[in-house]
Amino acid sequence: MTTVNALNLAEVGSLIGDPARAQMLTALMDGRALTAGELAWCAGITPQTASGHLAKMQTAGLLTMEKQGRHRYFRLSSPTVAGMLESMHVVCAVDTPKRIRPETRMDADLRQARTCYDHLAGVLGVALADALAARSVIDFSGDGGLVTVGGRDFLAGFGLDMAKLEKGKRHFCRPCLDWSERRHHIAGAVGAGLADRLFDLQWIERIKDSRAVRVTPAGRTGLKETFGIDPSA
């Protein structure tokens, strides 16, 4: 009777059936891409253990991986997988009456604006990248990122020491995948320079004990006037 490919079903089930892997998958359910290290931390296990789990899930086709520098970003391989996880969560929710953890204050802050290494990420970081792209200051359409000739003047006018930034060995202007927005923000020397400048102008300031940053009242007007960004919501 009905043999079908229940074996495959069991394989998929057992992949999800490990607490660490389930934790990772849940963390990835919103479609964001996370690094192997972040996922290890999410699951509460060491990086080497996580690496094995991730490899398994990738081989099985549940995850896809994208290399970016020395980081490896993992995400669910398709909306189909997300849908499956969703339906499994539905069953979980039915089985256990009620228990939803609301998004914490810190989650919300991080999603809004935060530093990513030395540059800006989150809603603010992506908005900044969009604004500069719209003004033809930067161009992310190609493989890497580049600053236009006019853009160089614009950034210099905003107070960035372009000569100094260009001297360094690191990537000059690079798109970086944003984990909360799933879109690119500005990394590299230019990204770091922009963040530095915004801190110097006190348009943004760090939130204590967190990577999150907040926009100051001065920053609100400044960002609006200079970049057309309205970081209100």
Applying CB under 7 A, which residues contact DNA?
14, 18-20, 35-38, 40, 45-56, 65, 67, 69-72, 168-171
Using the minimum distance from each CB to its own copies, give the nearer residue, 37 or 159.
37
Structural element, H or E, at residue 191? helix 188-200
User: Per rule CB under 8 A, is residue 9 in the interface with its own copies?
Assistant: yes
DSSP 11-38: HHHHHHTSHHHHHHHHHHTTS--EEHHH
CA atoms within 13 A on the CB side of 102: 2
Q: Which of 33, 45, 50, 110 binds its own copies (CB under 8 A)?
A: 110
Please give the residues from 155 up to 184 whose contact with its own copies meets the rule CB under 8 A.
177
**Contacting residues for 228 by C-beta, under 8 A, at least 6 apart:** 131, 134
Using the minimum distance from each CB to its own copies, give the nearer residue, 62 or 120.
62
Q: Cβ of residue 81: shortest distance to its own copies, in angstroms? A: 6
Which of the listed partners (its own copies, DNA, none) does 113 bind, with a CB threshold of 5 to 8 Å by partner kind? Answer: none
Q: C-alpha dihedral over 52, 55, 56, 61, to 10 degrees? A: 160
Q: Give me the 192-211 binding string for its own copies, x by CB under 8 A, dash otherwise.
A: -----------------xxx
Q: Cβ of residue 5: shortest distance to DNA, in angstroms? A: 17
Strand ranges of the sheet holding 34-35, from the earlier edge strand across to the other edge: 34-35, 71-76, 63-68
Distances (CA, A) of 195 to 19, 147, 216: 38, 16, 14
Q: Give me the 79-98 binding string for its own copies, x by CB under 8 A, dash otherwise.
A: -xx-xxx-xxxxxx-xxx--
Please give the residues from 17 up to 76 whose contact with its own copies meets the rule CB under 8 A.
17-19, 21-23, 25-27, 38, 41-42, 60-62
Coil, helix or strand at residue 159: coil
Give the angle 89-71-65 at the CA atoms, nearest 5°.
50
Torsion sign across C-alpha atoms 132, 204, 186, 66: negative
What's the rounded Cα separation, in Å, for the pair 155 and 162? 8
User: Per rule CB under 8 A, is residue 3 in the interface with its own copies?
Assistant: yes
Using the minimum distance from each CB to its own copies, give the nearer residue, 3 or 141.
3
Positions that interact with its own copies (CB under 8 A)? 1-19, 21-23, 25-27, 38, 41-42, 60-62, 78, 80-81, 83-85, 87-92, 94-96, 99, 101, 106-107, 110, 177, 209-211
